[in-house]
Amino acid sequence: MISQRREDSEREHLDQFCQATGGTKTDVLRELIR
């Protein structure tokens, strides 16, 4: 099970990645799933 701290860290990283790429979370997740 993923710890809450790690989950928050990943979510924060995802937000930063979205800002850097100008994409939405959905776009990023779609890329990760590929």
Mean pLDDT by 10 residues, the chain (34 residues): 74 76 76 78
Handedness of CA 33, 9, 4, 24 (dihedral sign): negative
Question: What pLDDT score was predicted for residue 23?
Answer: 72
The pTM (predicted TM-score) of the whole model is: 0.37
Question: What pLDDT score was predicted for residue 13?
Answer: 78
Cβ atoms of 28 and 17 closer than 8 Å: yes
